[in-house]
Amino acid sequence: MQIMITGANGQLGQALLRILPGAVGLARPAVDITDADAVERAVAAHRPDVIVHAAAMTDVDGAARDPDLAYRINGLGTQAVALAAARHGAVVAYVSSNEVFDGQAGRPYTEFDPVRAINPYGASKLAGEPRGSRAGAAGTSSTASSNWPTSVAAYAWSATRSPTRPLSTTWLTRSRA
């Protein structure tokens, strides 16, 4: 099983590379997710079964200062990853954010809860979700864990272990109460 991790130089990407032996890490400048051709070439070269899409603009204040850049990275970059994955039969585990919710539920959120982004960062992460699903991916899941990288890694690992593994995307949202 081949696992590819986007955003491999980030905090989550680095943690995933430590706990997913043999995973291929992609990061800027070698592969910029906003460059659809570069993403396509990387996916074609590595032929992953699963792509853990951890690449993102995660600077909430930076997203507020430059919402267009946040949208290009978190929305359109996600679309580039999802389209390349769909063309090559890979499953995508998209790491979303609690910022897609308004925080008013008073309990941990699930993937079935209505979304309401409260800032440009949350809106940009939310923009990635339908772009991924329109690219041929479907399905959601959420997890809340004190060991977040391990939860993401377990999803990635289990995605290829199902005998009826769908060619779909699993959306992971770190929930908070």
pLDDT digits (tens, 9 = 90+) for 71-80: 999 999 999 9
pLDDT at 168 over 80: no
Mention every residue, 6+ apart, whose C-beta is less than 8 A from residue 21: none
pTM above 0.85, yes or no: no
Ordered structural domains, the chain, with CATH:
3-172 (3.40.50.720)
Give the residue numbers annotated as catalytic, written as ranges: 121
> Which is nearest to 147 in space by CA: 174, 165, 119?
174
pLDDT at 114 over 50: yes
pLDDT reported for residue 42 = 97
Q: Could you report the per-residue pLDDT of 116-162, keeping only the tens digit for each?
A: 888 999 889 888 876 555 444 433 333 444 445 555 555 555 555 44
